[in-house]
Amino acid sequence: MSGILEGKRILVTGVLMESSIAFHVARLAQEQGAEIILTAFPRPTLTERIAKKLPKPAKVIELDVTNEEHLARLADVVGEELGGLDGIVHSIGFAPQDALGGNFLNTPFESVATAMHVSAFSLKSLTTACLPLMQNGGSVVGLTFDAQYAWPQYDWMGPAKAALEATSRYMARDLGKQNIRCNLISAGPIGSMAAKSIPGFSDLAAVWDTRSPLEWDLKDPEPAGRGVVALLSDWFPKTTGEIIHVDGGLHAIGA
């Protein structure tokens, strides 16, 4: 039996460590029949080393999503490698240290602007840079962390994720006529490199110990990766503007 991504061409951002959700998306996508290309910043060599652990070789290209020159050449570089694209995975987020860890009221706008640019606006800029390669439609899937709530230590990444969620809805509105779906996976906390950059991350993650209906494993990114792969596939042909929770069910529990 062929995989659910057989013949698909997928661009995956954010593969930094084997523990990252993006790495498991790339692995599962290959196992399900996709050809993939990876982007990395600021250390492409690190991603190249991690990529060697994937089932098949995958090219890594440098991409700073805040750099207009990088974005302008992206379609040409990816097109030469894959010929076109059927899917994009946005697994990019960053906030300066003074925008995290309980410093919400004191964070300067410059740091907030950086968090918004890298974590939210980049969903639009990455997708529009790739549009010339998506002539037959496709699927854009991003990763969020439930922005309905104010989380311990998360600070300005919370509003940045709220902006990401709104951006995805507006992209779904505007790209539907091109048969491009835009959805998000809202994942529970994972002990990835991104998590390690959040001061007091253990306080945030501890919420899942007492409130998650399903047992949650900080060391297992695969459930979220499976959710992303499912949304990349043709099994959700009329789903767009959606946020699918892969969080053990915690989003449904009040206390």
**197 has a pLDDT exceeding 80:** no
Determine if residue 243 is labeled as part of a ligand binding site: no
Determine if residue 185 is labeled as part of a ligand binding site: no
Terminal CA-CA length for the chain: 43
Cβ-contact 90, 141 below 8 angstroms: yes
Determine if residue 92 is labeled as part of a ligand binding site: yes
Q: What percent of the chain has pLDDT over 90?
A: 88
Determine if residue 64 is labeled as part of a ligand binding site: yes
Active-site residue, 161 included: yes
Determine if residue 193 is labeled as part of a ligand binding site: yes
**59 has a pLDDT exceeding 80:** yes
pLDDT band at 195; cut points 50, 70, 90: low
Per residue in 120-143, pLDDT tens?
999 999 999 999 999 999 999 999
How many Å apart are CA 229 and CA 246, to the nearest integer? 12
**2 has a pLDDT exceeding 90:** no
Q: Tokens standing for 146? A: 């439930």
Give me the mean pLDDT over the 165-169 stretch.
98
Spell out the domain ranges in the chain. Answer: 9-247
Bridge partners, residue 99, by sequence: none
Orientation angle between helical segments 157-175 and 122-130, nearest 10 degrees? 30
Please give the pLDDT value at position 174. Answer: 98
**205 has a pLDDT exceeding 80:** yes
Per residue in 25-55, pLDDT tens?
999 999 999 999 999 998 899 999 999 999 9
Give me the mean pLDDT over the 113-122 stretch.
98
Give me the mean pLDDT over the 160-185 stretch.
98
Nearest to 85 by CA among 167, 7, 185, 32: 7
pLDDT band at 74; cut points 50, 70, 90: very high
Please give the pLDDT value at position 192. Answer: 66
Residues in CB range of 8: below 8 A, 6 or more apart: 29, 33, 34, 35, 86, 87, 232, 233
| Per annotation, catalytic residue among 59, 154, 219, 238 | 154
**196 has a pLDDT exceeding 70:** no
> Looking at domain 9-247, does it have CATH number 3.40.50.720?
yes
Please give the pLDDT value at position 193. Answer: 59
Give me the mean pLDDT over the 105-117 stretch.
98
For the chain, give the mean pLDDT: 95
How many Å apart are CA 228 and CA 21, to the nearest integer? 9
Determine if residue 203 is labeled as part of a ligand binding site: no
| Per annotation, catalytic residue among 161, 177, 196, 238 | 161
Determine if residue 4 is labeled as part of a ligand binding site: no
